[in-house]
C-alpha cells in the first residue's frame, strides 16, 4: 500500500493476544526506527526491548501493557542534546516522536498493532531497568497482535478535523466556526 493508505491503516491498539512477535518482524520495526531522521543526525534514541514476562511485569508497575508480549522503552540520551538557542527548546522529544512513529508505521505494515504511551511513571521505569540519569525514558511503544483486529481505515473521515480546521496559509488565523 502507498504511504497515505498505510498511515490511515495504522491505529492505536490497546488489547493484544498472547503471541510473541517474530524476530524478523521485530528487527524490521527496529530498523525503521534506526533510519528515522533526527536533528543534526544526533540519534539520541536508546531503546530497551522488553519481552520476558518478568520484565513486562516491571513495565506494568509504571503503566498497563494490555496483554502484550513486547514493550519498547524508548529513551533519549541527554548528553549531546541539540538545544534551540532562542528559547532553549530541546529537539530530543521531537526526535523520539519521529523514531517511534516510524516504528509504529513499520509495525502496521507487517500486521503488528501498537500504542505509543507518554503517560507513564519514568521513575519506576528508570529504577526497574537500571537506567542511568543521563538517559531519559521518554515513551513506551507497546506492540503486539491485536485481539480485536485493526480499526477501519476510513474512520478518519469521521474522527479527524477537516483540513480547514487545522491548516492556515501564510499566517495564523483562528479556524472558522
The series of mean pLDDT values per 10 residues for the chain, 177 residues long, is: 92 95 98 97 97 98 97 96 94 96 98 98 98 98 95 88 88 77
- The torsion defined by the Cα of 60, 66, 67 and 68, in degrees rounded to 10, comes to -90
Helix, strand and coil content of the chain, in percent to the nearest 5, comes to 35, 20, 45
CA nearest to 78, candidates 48, 43, 123, 44: 44
Three-state DSSP class for residue 8: helix
Greatest Cα-to-Cα distance within the chain, rounded to the nearest angstrom: 53
Distance, CA of 109 to CA of 107 (rounded, Å): 5
Decide if 112 contacts 29 (C-beta within 8 A). Answer: yes
| SS3 assignment, position 31 | helix
Contacting residues for 113 by C-beta, under 8 A, at least 6 apart? 11, 13, 16, 107, 143, 144, 145, 146, 150
Task: Tell me how far apart the alpha carbons of residues 19 and 118 are, in angstroms, rounded to a whole number.
Answer: 24
> What is residue 177's predicted lDDT score, i.e. its pLDDT?
59
Please give the pLDDT value at position 176.
Answer: 63
What local confidence, expressed as pLDDT, does residue 154 receive? 86
Amino acid at each position: 500500500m502507498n504511504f497515505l493508505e498505510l498511515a490511515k491503516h495504522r491505529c492505536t491498539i490497546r488489547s493484544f493476544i498472547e503471541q510473541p512477535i517474530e524476530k524478523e518482524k521485530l528487527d524490521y520495526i527496529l530498523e525503521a526506527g534506526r533510519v528515522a531522521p533526527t536533528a543534526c543526525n544526533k540519534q539520541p534514541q536508546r531503546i530497551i526491548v522488553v519481552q520476558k514476562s518478568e520484565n513486562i511485569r516491571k513495565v506494568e508497575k509504571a503503566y498497563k501493557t494490555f496483554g502484550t508480549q513486547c514493550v519498547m522503552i524508548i529513551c533519549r540520551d541527554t548528553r549531546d542534546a541539540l538545544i534551540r538557542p532562542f528559547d532553549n527548546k530541546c529537539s530530543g522529544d521531537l526526535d523520539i516522536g519521529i523514531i517511534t512513529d516510524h516504528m509504529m508505521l513499520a509495525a502496521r505494515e507487517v500486521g503488528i498493532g501498537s500504542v505509543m504511551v507518554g503517560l507513564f511513571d519514568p521513575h519506576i521505569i528508570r529504577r526497574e531497568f537500571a537506567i542511568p540519569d543521563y538517559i531519559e525514558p521518554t515513551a513506551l511503544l507497546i506492540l503486539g497482535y491485536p485481539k480485536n483486529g485493526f480499526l477501519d481505515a476510513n474512520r478518519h473521515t469521521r474522527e479527524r478535523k477537516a483540513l480547514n480546521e487545522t491548516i492556515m496559509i501564510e499566517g495564523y488565523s483562528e479556524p472558522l466556526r
